[in-house]
A and B are shown apart, each in its own frame.
Chain A
Amino acid sequence: MENKIRVSNLNFFYGKAQALYDISLEVPERQVVACIGPSGCGKSTFLRTLNRMNDTIPIARADGEVIVDGENIYAPGTDVVALRRKVGMVFQKSNPFPKSIFDNVAYGIRINGIQTSKTDLNDRVEKALHDAALWNEVKDRLNTSAFGLSGGQQQRLCIARALAVQPEVILMDEPASALDPIATQKIEELVVELKRDYTIVIVTHNMQQASRVSDRTAFFMLGKLVEYDSTQKMFQNPNEKLTEDYITGRFG
């Protein structure tokens, strides 16, 4: 299996404070990688290094390499907008725009200056809503406000919005932590469904969620990658005692 992302010796700093220490791992194409670890362990910081989302923080600095499709995304001259189109992101709290359902999904296509006919745009919005498993619930009210959707639907709308610009990788930062169990289940089913076409890296506090949806799991602690292996191995027989202690709730 090809690696979509290869991270080598990545160190990350917020000013003088080091948040990530010498992280190296590979994300295989069309697989789901879950990042777990206690609060403040660096897993969200790590996620955000994969599409340079941390660039928005002025004092943030990264060294090391993050190779996506063979290109180091930290190399000078990298087109960050193109990078984020390729490596999309879904956040913990759903954040639809104060627009209609349709315009939310079409937003990325329009802002990226992707030239489409009206029919093409409609098709792409419909496909993104289908892929996000939301189409059947919203097809009759595409022009109503996105705020009228439930929390779970809003989160799937945000996923549809991310999918509409046809990314190859989707980063998800605790996408279901604010949702009820049914909405959570839908998101989890969606993640499994999406990996047919996309590479997914998901940060989650919910260990069962990591074990249910991911192929590989990375356990972070105090900014270090303690262990990274197949999810099966991590949850049945991890190599590191720290991993075992964390996933069995001996500390947290």
Chain B
Amino acid sequence: MDHRIIDQQLDVLRDKILLLGGATESAVQRAMQSLVERDSVLAKQVLEEDKIIDQMELEIDRLSIEILALQHPAAHDLRFVISVAKITPILERIADHAGSIAEAALVINIEPLVKNYVEFPMMAQTAAEMLRSALDAFTNEDAQLSREIIERDKEIDTSYKKVFNALLEMMIDNPSATTGAAHLLFVAKHLERIGDYVKDICELNVYLREAAFIKHSRLI
């Protein structure tokens, strides 16, 4: 049988999650850009577009449930639908973090320029690269790449610690920069969380490919 009814629906589901992935990636990248380039118009755009991402999440939820209820997928089809249904809210949460970074940018951008953003660009770049690679790994069902990305989360954690300490020192040395630095601390935390979420996506990529649960593997 060349064309199954479920194939068409799985293709639509795949298209929808890739669109959501693209939109999320763009939100993170532009939120950071709005901060680094002090572009509040861009920050507002990111916040405005979060609704579109929420809408995409709803559509994917609806379609995933419909496929489960009506097509009774099994084996790889089942793992695909489950992975999509679990990755979707993760992407939506990453987009929420991008929104929070954009909100922080709106505050920081009207404060005096904090001397420099220390490791921020690198941390943001790592997070964005990890997200892009995780989505590529999902598309290609590449478990090996997913495992490599999971390892990269440590880079973000290390950067977070450096950024945290640098901002703390900045607040002690220059109390007038406290407001900006405090908001930047939140931004750093958002980026660190994005790294954790990308890791979760990669764990689901491994499940999709190998039917193996690597999350909380010490409990299995």
Q: Is A62's CB within 8 Å of the partner chain B? A: no
Q: Is A244's CB within 8 Å of the partner chain B? A: yes
- Are A236 and B4 within 8 A (Cβ)? no
A-B contact pairs, 27 of them (CB 8 A): A207-B72, A207-B74, A208-B72, A211-B74, A235-B74, A235-B75, A235-B78, A236-B74, A236-B75, A236-B78, A236-B211, A237-B210, A237-B211, A243-B75, A244-B75, A244-B76, A247-B74, A247-B75, A248-B4, A248-B6, A248-B74, A248-B75, A248-B77, A249-B4, A249-B6, A250-B1, A252-B1
| Nearest B-chain residue to A208, judged by Cβ | B72
Q: Is B89's CB within 8 Å of the partner chain A? A: no
Nearest-neighbour CB distance to chain B for A185, whole angstroms, equals 16
Contacts of B211 in A (CB 8 A): 236-237
- Are A251 and B1 within 8 A (Cβ)? yes
Residues from 54 to 98 in B contacting A, C-beta threshold 8 Å: 72-79
Which of A207, A243, A249 counts the most chain B CB atoms within 10 A?
Answer: A249
Interface residues of A (CB under 8 A from B): 207-208, 211, 235-238, 243-244, 247-252
Give bound CA distance, A249 to B77, whole Å.
Answer: 11
A-B contacts besides A248-B6, A248-B74, A249-B6, 10 pairs, CB < 8 Å: A207-B72, A235-B75, A236-B211, A237-B79, A237-B210, A243-B75, A244-B75, A249-B1, A249-B4, A251-B1
| Nearest B-chain residue to A250, judged by Cβ | B1
Contacts of B6 in A (CB 8 A): 248-249
Contacts of B77 in A (CB 8 A): 248
Give bound CA distance, A248 to B4, whole Å.
Answer: 9
Contacts of A252 in B (CB 8 A): 1
- Are B1 and A238 within 8 A (Cβ)? no
Once A236-B211, A237-B211 are accepted as A-B contacts, the answer to whether A248 and B79 lie under 8 Å apart by CB is: no
Partner of B75, one of A208, A238, A251: A238
Give bound CA distance, A251 to B4, whole Å.
Answer: 9
Give bound CA distance, A236 to B72, whole Å.
Answer: 12
Give bound CA distance, A105 to B186, whole Å.
Answer: 75
Contacts of A251 in B (CB 8 A): 1
